[in-house]
Amino acid sequence: MKPKLRIHHTAIFVMVGLIILVSRLAYIQLFATESFSKHHVNLIEESVQQRTQGIVLDNGRGRFVDRNGDPLYNDYYPSLILFPFLKQMEWPVDEVARIIGTRKSYLEETVQLAEGPVVLGGDQPLRLSETQMNELNDLKVPGIIATYYETDNNSISAEHFIGIVRENEELLKERYEEKLEKGYISTRTPIGITGLQRAFDEFLVQEGEAKLLYHVDNQGQPLFGLNVKYTAPSNPFYPLVINTTLEKKVQDEAERLIDESGLKKGGLVLLDIQSRDVLAMVSRPHMDMGNPFQNDGGKNYMILPQVPGSIFKIVTATAAIENVDLRGRRFNCDLNLYGDKPASRLLGQLDFVDSFAQSCNNTFAELANEMISVNDNIIDEYAEKLGLTTPVGWNGEVFHYRSFSHFPEEVASIIWKDERDKGAERAIAQTAIGQKEVRISPLAVANMVATIADDGRVKQVRGVDKIIYKNGAVLFEFPKQTLADEKLSPYTISKLQQLLREVVESGTGKVFRTLPYTVAGKSGTAEIGSTGYENKWFVGYFPVERPRYALVVVNMQVNSWETQTNDVFADMVKIIHNLNNDL
């Protein structure tokens, strides 16, 4: 190639490259300044941030509190924020120290060590009163600002109940395509993945942080004077607060108790019988926040169906009370489940009440086969009357949601997987005592016993009481709702209450006779396939005279000799009694 031609081609190549580069720069400067690349980066904000120091007061996502308004994580209260440029000016350190009741030297040292804005108290900020906050702000000193600040206490009460928040661009686009297109949120906005965080995500999703900002030069000195700017989303009603039904003191004690007991898999549910509110819910294993779905730690086992074992005899007993003449009838409890071999516990001839109290398998296998020979749907019908055939969590209409659920991950109970089992005596026998394919969640079990204690009223279980605006006004209040229209007869309910009480008086729950509250309930031991492990349950309500609480504890996949279930149930009753006495 001739030299001139080569130079000519090179010049054209360079010119085309420059045109492309200039065009790209022009596009970025003129058209993509607020939404650059697939990540929708705001270049103006990024350039400002290079010359900005600041502190995030809250991340803009809604918060969760317990029934009394106490935070379940990340507390939010008035705090004192000091800016580093105070070290270059005279400021009323004596007056500030007097207002907040601390040492002058502590304030001076905090400012001298500050490289950016700092919250007084560090990881555990000093909690100010409203009066102190107003007095400090009345000083009108640049760099001294008292305001509400969200603390990260690295501790979450009811981690599975509350759930987790993560960045998930695909899921975010699916949920909030319009908000994303309008720039209200970015692809990096965290969203709720599990628990209440998932259920209430649309009410919680952040549309911007609240910050205190000031601009600095390349030496870190303030530009444009000493002005500190407050920035936050313009809507004064947000972020919202989700007022849950939990009682934080009870929840914290329940978590401590479960962990100290050594219970590795399982947990507990505590319900208020009248309102059917969740007062405490603990699921184990613990959730690893760094990798929440590792080793099933992200699952809330309290809302997932488990093998119930003899807990299910409550259903079989209910059907028998209403459909079988039990007067004077006795059952051979020296026989096993199928009536063809000796039982592992030789209990002799027992009537119906004692059969329930001693959890005699043969009695309920015999009764179930007898009833199903007349009506093969009878177990299903009474499971429905006790609220077991559908999810039990609150579900209803909330604004544009036709079917809003407090527990979107809850799975309904299973009674039969194969309808042909209703024609097989052994399958019926196993189903009658909560084995075979029977699966019920601990939440549904607790609600079933609460239904019996509440004279047969089948209600939905609430996890949240109301949604509250930032200013304290109520956005939405969740009404108490029934789960099934048909109630069991007063006689049946009275008989079931007697059966559950007899378990504690003379049966498998005698260990609970000395508790400070009188308890009625039912134990359950479920074989887990051929693993050799068992699920161990106890569910009950108390005090019997005026039922207030329904509690279920389950220890999953354990050896037959392990006793954490009974220990946790008994200690939990004692804790609630002590807390009530302290109020």
Distance, CA of 350 to CA of 361 (rounded, Å)? 12
Look at 532 and 522; give whichever has higher pLDDT: 522
Q: Is the pLDDT of residue 227 over 90?
A: no
Question: Under DSSP, is residue 27 helix (H, G, I), strand (E, B) or coil?
Answer: helix
Peptide bond into 543 cis (omega under 30): yes
Q: What is the pLDDT of residue 224?
A: 43
Summary mean pLDDT of the chain: 88
For 285-341, where are the E strands, in sequence order?
A: 330-332
Q: Is the pLDDT of residue 115 over 80?
A: yes
| pLDDT tens-place string over residues 264-299 | 999 999 999 999 999 999 999 998 877 877 777 789
Residue 3 resides in a domain: no
Look at 517 and 220; give whichever has higher pLDDT: 517
- Mean pLDDT value of segment 60-82: 88
Lowest mean pLDDT among 97-106, 287-296, 344-353, 526-535: 287-296
Q: What is the pLDDT of residue 215?
A: 66
Q: What is the pLDDT of residue 26?
A: 61
Structure tokens at 277: 């509110």
Look at 24 and 56; give whichever has higher pLDDT: 56
Residue 466 resides in a domain: yes
Assign 154 a pLDDT band (cuts: 50, 70, 90): low
- Mean pLDDT value of segment 214-232: 57
* Residue found under tokens 């002799």: 348
Nearest 5 degrees, angle CA 261-CA 164-CA 260? 10
Residue 357 resides in a domain: yes
Distance, CA of 335 to CA of 340 (rounded, Å)? 7
Q: Is the pLDDT of residue 82 over 80?
A: yes
* Residue found under tokens 């596009």: 27
Lowest mean pLDDT among 65-79, 317-331, 386-400, 438-452: 65-79
Is the Cβ–Cβ distance between 440 and 308 less than 8 Å? yes
Q: Is the pLDDT of residue 40 over 60?
A: no
DSSP string, 145-161: EEEEEE---S--TTHHH
Distance, CA of 357 to CA of 343 (rounded, Å)? 16
* Residue found under tokens 């549309």: 207
- Dihedral sign from CA coordinates of 166, 167, 170, 171: positive
- Mean pLDDT value of segment 208-230: 60
DSSP string, 410-446: ----BS-S-GGGGG-HHHHHHHHTT-TT-BB-HHHHH
Number of domains observed in the structure of the chain: 1
Assign 454 a pLDDT band (cuts: 50, 70, 90): very high
Q: Is the pLDDT of residue 440 over 80?
A: yes
For a pLDDT cut of 90, what percent of the chain falls above it?
63
Residue 130 resides in a domain: no
Q: Which helix (H) or strand (E) holds 542?
A: strand 534-542
Q: How large is the C-alpha radius of gyration of the chain?
A: 31
Distance, CA of 499 to CA of 476 (rounded, Å)? 40
Assign 178 a pLDDT band (cuts: 50, 70, 90): confident
Active centre residues (catalytic):
310
| pLDDT tens-place string over residues 185-198 | 888 888 999 999 99
Contacts of 414 (CB under 8 A, 6+ apart): 305, 437, 438, 439, 440
* Length of the chain measured in residues: 583
Residue 63 resides in a domain: no
Peptide bond into 239 cis (omega under 30): yes
Distance, CA of 196 to CA of 143 (rounded, Å)? 38
Q: What is the pLDDT of residue 61?
A: 87
Structure tokens at 131: 């009066």
Lowest mean pLDDT among 246-250, 293-297, 398-402, 468-472: 293-297
Distance, CA of 422 to CA of 237 (rounded, Å)? 56
DSSP string, 80-144: EEE-GGGGGS---HHHHHHHHT--HHHHHHHHHH-SS-EETTTTSPPPPPHHHHHHHHHT--TTE
**pTM surpassing 0.75?**
yes
Contacts of 18 (CB under 8 A, 6+ apart): none
| pLDDT tens-place string over residues 530-582 | 888 999 999 999 999 999 999 999 999 999 898 899 999 999 999 999 999 86
Assign 467 a pLDDT band (cuts: 50, 70, 90): very high
- Mean pLDDT value of segment 342-357: 96
Q: How far is CA 316 from CA 322, 417, 428, in A?
A: 10, 18, 11
Residues 439-476, buried b or exposed e (16+ Cβ, 10 A)?
A: bbbbbbbbbbbbbbbbebbbbbbbbbbebbeeeeeeee
Structure tokens at 495: 């008989």
Residue 143 resides in a domain: no
Q: How far is CA 71 from CA 59, 159, 257, 288, in A?
A: 15, 13, 21, 21
Look at 276 and 43; give whichever has higher pLDDT: 276
Any idea what the CATH number is for the domain that residue 357 is in?
A: 3.40.710.10
Is the Cβ–Cβ distance between 506 and 357 less than 8 Å? yes
Question: Under DSSP, is residue 59 helix (H, G, I), strand (E, B) or coil?
Answer: coil
Look at 74 and 244; give whichever has higher pLDDT: 244
For a pLDDT cut of 70, what percent of the chain falls above it?
88
Peptide bond into 84 cis (omega under 30): no
Structural domain for 268, as ranges? 248-582
Distance, CA of 338 to CA of 341 (rounded, Å)? 8
Residue 99 resides in a domain: no
Return the closest-CA partner of residue 272 out of 462, 457, 124, 410.
Answer: 462
Residue 114 resides in a domain: no
Q: Is the pLDDT of residue 1 over 80?
A: no
